[in-house]
Amino acid sequence: MEILGIDVGGTGIKGAVVNTKTGELISKRRRIATPHPATPEAVAETIQKLIHHFKWNGPVGCGFPTPLKNGKCLTGGNLHKDWKNLKVDEFFKSKTGNQFSVVNDADAAGLAEITFGAGKDVKGTVIMITLGTGIGSALFLDGKLLPNTEFGHVLHKSGCIFEKYAADSVRIEENLSRKQWGKRLHKYFKHINLLLSPDLIIVGGGSSKKFSKFEAQINIDTKIIPAKSENEAGIIGAALAAV
């Protein structure tokens, strides 16, 4: 089955047509910068541009960077306060005419990796951590998703969550070397390891392509590996969520 998968991020909105049986992208990926401010109207307009680019008339799967419950946005996340309490799937359908299935973006990336990638056939507890504008998480037990976790929001110290200390956007903003950033990530993954005792940790997001440059700084007793589909995981998983 072919589905248009769209991954909404803090800096870019990406899309491609996905073969949901194999996890392969069957079109070239298209990326458009996330509008600022990222209001519902502005983001919907960008998504409409992607749909027109692919000349797509069918259902759309969308990874979205906030917690969601039955398609309803629980917070504005890193986008805009106006998203809070909006039924995102119905809103996008009203703006585009396409049927939408919306899932948290990190959960989408995790679905791709647990179905086709680094987490395939892994039993026990698997957590996917996406490093980008923020820190996203997807938690699986024996291949089943426990949706809407927010492990980027665990406290690093009083008044500061780890997302504000160790996201890739913080690395860029503070001009940290990969080694310096890796030391921050070590603190984060050590904390996650203590909380969950997972069998496997998968690192996703755009930073997964550079995993070898900070891997040596992370020293925990749980296997930690990059996502196989790298930063295409969100697109693939979004499409899977629409099947």
* In the chain, domain spans: 2-107+233-241, 120-227
| pLDDT tens string 124-143 | 999 999 998 899 999 999 99
- The answer on pLDDT for 102 being more than 90 is yes
pLDDT, greater one: 76 or 10: 10
- The answer on pLDDT for 227 being more than 90 is yes
pLDDT at residue 158, as a whole number = 78
State whether CATH 1.10.580.10 applies to domain 120-227.
Answer: no
- The answer on pLDDT for 174 being more than 90 is yes
- The answer on pLDDT for 97 being more than 80 is yes
Element (H, E) at 48: helix 40-54
Q: Centre a 10 Å sphere on the Cβ of residue 103 and count the other Cβ atoms it contains.
A: 28
pLDDT at residue 78, as a whole number = 79
Identify the band that residue 206 occupies on the pLDDT scale cut at 50, 70 and 90.
confident
Identify the band that residue 230 occupies on the pLDDT scale cut at 50, 70 and 90.
confident
The mean pLDDT of 59-79, rounded to a whole number, is: 90
Q: Is 49 helix (H, G, I), strand (E, B) or coil?
A: helix
* Intrachain domains 2-107+233-241 and 120-227 with the same fold: yes
Q: Is 135 exposed, middle or buried (0-12, 13-18, 19+ CB in 10 A)?
A: buried
Query: What percentage of the chain carries pLDDT values higher than 70?
Result: 100
CA distances from 113 to 21, 22, 90, 109, 190 (A): 14, 12, 27, 6, 22
Q: What CATH number does domain 2-107+233-241 carry, 3.30.420.40, 3.90.1150.10, 3.40.1030.10, 2.40.50.140?
A: 3.30.420.40
Identify the band that residue 163 occupies on the pLDDT scale cut at 50, 70 and 90.
very high
CA 120 to chain centre: 18
Cα distance between residue 164 and residue 231, in whole Å: 21
| pLDDT tens string 146-156 | 999 999 999 99
Q: How many residues does the chain have?
A: 243
CA 55, 57, 59, 60 torsion-angle sign: positive
